Amino acid sequence: MHSKPEGDAAAAAAAEGGSPRSGYFRQRSMYAADPDGVGAATPRKAFDVENPPGGAGGLRPSESVTKLESLERAERAALAPAVVLKTGFYILVWYAFSTCLTLYNKTLLGDKLGKFPAPLLMNTVHFALQAGLSKIIMLFQTKGVENAVEMGWKDYFMRVVPTALGTALDINLSNASLVFISVTFATMCKSASPIFLLMFAFAFRLESPSIKLLGIIVVISTGVLLTVSKETEFDFWGFIFVTLAAVMSGFRWSMTQILLQKDSYGLKNPITLMSHVTPVMAIATMVLSLLMDPWSDFQKNTYFDSPWHVMR
């Protein structure tokens, strides 16, 4: 047997326990020098971050995380004036367009006004236009097609489809009620939507029941009852349609909040949400139109007796 060279032995020793010099420095760093220069060095003690000497102070992870979460909550709670003004502007624009659209629908669909024979067909065309425009806007956004959301079929049928059906029923029932009742009465009855909105928010755990919210429900309910009792041109079916529309409104806005605020669905962009919801709305309303609109009477109606009237 040949003995190993001295170089190999030194390399093996360095691989196993480090070089003698590095071991010396490691051993030396573990001891603190005597401040007076007299006597042996004393061993160093490891510093415990969570439990420092004396038991006071220190950095506790649980406390730091709690403090960070409280700061984040305070930052979210503090509303900047710009955010308030922006939100108020959006609400005013929504009210303005909603009022104009309601007056237009009443003029077109009213039993004593336009008498358009196919309100469901009209809504089908509107929903199809919204679906097409939302898809086009999605294509022209910053990331283009890459910005599309990948959603599983289970989430689509459990979340998006119910939202679309609720929205379609809300709009279709509202338009159907305008055939029988006035715009003023329909608006007053539709003001009951916050009642059903709070009920669905309680059911979906978006809000916690409280005395304040229950008081709001009682006040709104009382106002709606007073409105109905003072209506001189009360129509039963118009009232039923607009009440069902208020119920569907509460359901669809609660579902819309869930879709917009949950990150896992990837629908925080309202245009993206519209691109997912409006195709289902158009298909569902088209089916209702085929079943309920008087298609056999279209050729006799002034709205469909010529290509020019149809395009107009």
Dump pLDDT digits (tens) for 82-105.
878 888 898 899 888 888 888 888
Q: Considering only 49-63, 135-149, 260-274, which range has the smallest mean pLDDT?
A: 49-63
- Residue 10 predicted with pLDDT over 50: no
Identify the pLDDT of residue 312.
59
pLDDT band at 114 (very low <50, low <70, confident <90, very high): low
- Residue 244 predicted with pLDDT over 90: yes
The residues pairing with 31 across neighbouring beta strands, listed in sequence order, are: 43
Average pLDDT of the segment spanning 37-48: 52
Q: Which of 69-78, 136-145, 265-274 has the highest mean pLDDT?
A: 265-274
| Better-scored residue on pLDDT, 281 or 181 | 281
Task: Find out whether 44 and 34 touch, Cβ atoms under 8 Å.
Answer: no
| Better-scored residue on pLDDT, 50 or 297 | 297
Overall pTM surpassing 0.85 (yes/no): no
Phi, psi of 58 (to 5 degrees): 95, 175
Those residues whose C-beta lies under 8 Å from the C-beta of residue 237, and which sit 6 or more positions away, are 180
C-alpha–C-alpha distance, residues 14 and 1, integer Å: 24
* Mean per-residue pLDDT of the chain: 75
C-alpha–C-alpha distance, residues 170 and 188, integer Å: 15
Instruction: Give the type of residue at 188.
Output: M
Percent of the chain at pLDDT exceeding 70: 65
Average pLDDT of the segment spanning 221-242: 79
C-alpha–C-alpha distance, residues 122 and 9, integer Å: 92
- Residue 299 predicted with pLDDT over 50: yes
pLDDT band at 129 (very low <50, low <70, confident <90, very high): very high
Task: Count CB atoms within 10 A of the CB of residue 169.
Answer: 21
* CA diameter of the chain: 119
The residues pairing with 32 across neighbouring beta strands, listed in sequence order, are: 42
| Better-scored residue on pLDDT, 292 or 13 | 292
C-alpha–C-alpha distance, residues 210 and 217, integer Å: 11
Identify the pLDDT of residue 9.
47
